[in-house]
Structures are given as structure tokens and as C-alpha cells.
Amino acid sequence: MTEASPDRLPIARGLRGRCPRCGEGRLFRGFLSLRPRCEHCGLDFSFADSGDGPAVFVILIGGFLVAFGALFTEFTLHPPIWVTLIIWLPMTLVVCLALLRPTKGVLLAAQFMNKASQATHD
């Protein structure tokens, strides 16, 4: 078993919703709202603004998963349309909500790793 590369650690921390610097403090206060700073190391999270990035990735990844699953069941099991709708419409919501928080954590960790911040017009 090899140890994770140190430069990839912040991504794993973001995936778990932890502070990208120390990996101990929690990143989120609610479902998607950020804490003002890390409760463990004090890192100020004001740098963090992922914008629409998480939504874009969730749309692409979740859309692929749900569309693939719906088409696969349609072509292999040939269920009635109401069964397809009952299964895959709620699954769309579940997949999107499950992916949104880890995706935001990863993008914020990538922002921290690359020392990226919003452009300002001073």
C-alpha cells in the first residue's frame, strides 16, 4: 500500500468535506454553505468561491450516470414508462445531491492548492 502523494492530499480532504490545509476541521457549516474559517487550524475560507463549478460537474457526471442507467434499463428490461419515471426521476435528485457537496469540496481544495482566488478589478 502506497501513501497518497502529498500534493494530492487536499483533494481527498475536500472530497471528505474537510479543511484542505489540515484535513481536520470541517469545511461546511450546512449542506453547501462554508464555515468562515477552519475550526482546527484557523485557515480563512474567504478565498473559497467555487461559483458554478460544482453544478457544472454534477450536471455532466450525474447526467451521464442517470441517462446511462435509464437507457440501460430501458433497453435490457423494457419496463413500462411509469416504472422508468418512478425510478429515474428520484434517482436524478439523489445522484445530484450526493455529488454536489463532495464536488464543491474538491473544487475548493483545488482552489486552495493552486492558490487561486477571484479576479478583482481594483
Residues that bind Zn ion (CB under 5 A): 19, 21-22, 25, 38, 40-41, 43
Taking the least distance from each CB to Zn ion, the nearer of 93 and 117 is 117
Residue 89 phi, psi dihedral angles, 5° rounding: -70, -50
Cell (9 digits) for 118: 477571484
Indicate the residue among 25 and 62 with the shorter CB distance to Zn ion: 25
CB of 25 to Zn ion, least distance (A): 4
Ordered alpha helix ranges (H), the chain: 9-15, 53-77, 81-113
Question: In angstroms, what is the minimal distance from the CB of 32 to Zn ion?
Answer: 19
Torsion of CA 113, 115, 118, 121, to 10 degrees: -170
Instruction: Select 27 or 66, whichever has its Cβ closest to Zn ion.
Output: 27
Q: How many CA atoms within 13 Å lie on the side-chain side of 113? A: 16
* Nearest to Zn ion of 27, 96 (CB atom): 27
CB 19 → Zn ion: shortest distance, Å?
3
Smallest separation, CB 27 to Zn ion (Å): 9
Tell me the C-alpha distance between 59 and 84, whole Å: 20
